[in-house]
Amino acid sequence: MDFTYDDEQVALRDAVRGLVGKAYGDYERRRQVVKEDPGFDEKQWSRLAEMGILGLPFSEEDGGVGAGPVEIGIVCQELGRTIAPEPFLASVVLAGGLVAAAGTPEQRAEVLGALAAGDSVLAFAHDEPGRRWGAAAESVTAAQDGGSWTLTGVKEPVLHGARADVLVVSAALPGGGTGAFLVAGDAEGLSRAGYPTYDGGRAARVALDQTPAVPLGAPGLDLSGSIATVLDITRIMAANQSLGAMQTLLGATTDYLKSRKQFGVTLNHFQALTFRAADMYTSLELTHSLVDWATMVISAGTPEEVAAAAARVSLQVSRGGRHVGQEAIQLHGGIAMTAEYHVGMYVAHLTALDHLFGDGDHQVRKLSATVADYDLLDPLDR
């Protein structure tokens, strides 16, 4: 058992921190970038590709680097520290993750190769209006006519769905189950309406009307298992990203308490405030522990174990993230309410991450279903 990074992992962290810090260490820069479409910096995307970051999770045959979950977690944490707007989570971890898990060798080489090279942005169109956080598709349906497939229905919100060059779309299969399909950005019968989200991200309504699509992997195969696992891994990586953001929030808050003067003294003279900062630290460290653990479960565990770890870490991040975020604003006072100041936007981003893949209450509901099936939880007994 070991919770420390090895030398290569430290080097990766420092390299990513350097690159992302240069781009967004000054928060104003992030603010400018997200003001305009596509909501991130295409040049920065290319730099990430050059560093090998966009191909990190994928095997070398697929044009990637073949790194493990810990490395991907490191990248997510660093992106979270500066809330860098590049769609690593949505495009590489989620959409790319599904292609890697379910695509044919040719699909993987083509789609992931272009993604890793920075030539293409992927989006996973999965959420459907009126439905929350499941692995199955319902209202978008797939139809088959001989060897060709079409999709019909609406997906929303789709992260980076307007900018994406290729969409990975989940759909209910004619024979039951959920399949996934590759849809070109310029496909016939595809309409996309993009919009900004409150945290400076981008989402879209994606409407499909008998849109031609290529089945991911073997045609007609129910992929809901793969989709569920990729969503679980994405949850864990979102938790890494949230952890990075929480670290920045706590750091900003302690700096502020030491510098802001009221009543003739700096705010850290008021114990009522320092104690609240201590509680933020407590939430942060507890979250950090679960994030590290869940990240390690990805490579060590079965899909069921990964699912459980994803639910547990998401629950902790939901509770801990809300606590740290809300207190960060409160302890800053009015300044944190302004858009020029970074704290509020970090809290907005944490809120988005909390709601993209299942919030705390959702995880409690899920975990409650099986709570009677075991006695005590033992993270070392696996």
Binding footprint of other proteins, residue count (CB under 8 A):
49
Task: Single out the residue of 285, 302, 304, 330 in contact with other proteins (rule: CB under 8 A).
Answer: 285
Return the residues of window 195-254 that contact other proteins according to CB under 8 A. 250, 254
Taking each helix axis from N to C terminus, what angle separates 7-24 and 69-81, rounded to the nearest 10 degrees?
30
First to last CA, the chain: 13
**Window 245-264: contact mask with other proteins (x via CB under 8 A):** -----x---x--xx------
CB of 240 to other proteins, least distance (A): 12
The whole-angstrom separation of Cα 47 and Cα 79 is 14
Task: Single out the residue of 119, 275, 333, 337 in contact with other proteins (rule: CB under 8 A).
Answer: 275
Task: Single out the residue of 15, 49, 70, 117 in contact with other proteins (rule: CB under 8 A).
Answer: 70
Return the residues of window 305-334 that contact other proteins according to CB under 8 A. 312, 315-316, 319
Length, in residues, of the chain: 382
Q: Of the two residues 195 and 281, which places its CB atom closer to other proteins in the complex?
A: 281
**DSSP letters of 292-315?**
HHHHHHHHHS-HHHHHHHHHHHHH
Spatial contact of 343 and 329, defined as CB atoms under 8 Å apart: yes
CB of 337 to other proteins, least distance (A): 22
* 382 lies in the site for other proteins, by CB under 8 A: yes
Can you say whether the dihedral through the CA atoms of 326, 331, 337, 338 is positive or negative? negative
CB of 213 to other proteins, least distance (A): 39
**Window 354-373: contact mask with other proteins (x via CB under 8 A):** ----------xx-xx--xx-
Encode burial over 262-289: b for 16+ CB neighbours within 10 A, e otherwise.
eeeeebeeeeebeebbeebeebbeebbe
Q: Of the two residues 186 and 271, which places its CB atom closer to other proteins in the complex?
A: 271
CB of 275 to other proteins, least distance (A): 4
* Phi-psi domain of 192 (left: phi exceeds 0; alpha: psi -120 through 50; beta: other): beta
Cβ partners under 8 Å of residue 263, min gap 6: none
In SS3 terms, 98-150 reads as: HHHHHCCHHHHHHHHHHHHCCCCCEEEECCCCCCCCCCCCCCCEEEEECCEEE
Return the residues of window 3-22 that contact other proteins according to CB under 8 A. 3-5, 9
Q: Of the two residues 101 and 277, which places its CB atom closer to other proteins in the complex?
A: 277
Spatial contact of 115 and 96, defined as CB atoms under 8 Å apart: yes
Task: Single out the residue of 107, 229, 287, 351 in contact with other proteins (rule: CB under 8 A).
Answer: 287
Taking each helix axis from N to C terminus, what angle separates 7-24 and 42-50, rounded to the nearest 10 degrees?
160
Q: Of the two residues 143 and 367, which places its CB atom closer to other proteins in the complex?
A: 367
Return the residues of window 152-191 that contact other proteins according to CB under 8 A. none
CB of 297 to other proteins, least distance (A): 7
* 272 lies in the site for other proteins, by CB under 8 A: no
Query: Rule CB under 8 A: which residues touch other proteins?
Result: 1-5, 9, 70, 250, 254, 257-258, 268, 271, 274-275, 277-279, 281-282, 285-290, 292-293, 295-297, 300, 312, 315-316, 319, 364-365, 367-368, 371-372, 375-380, 382
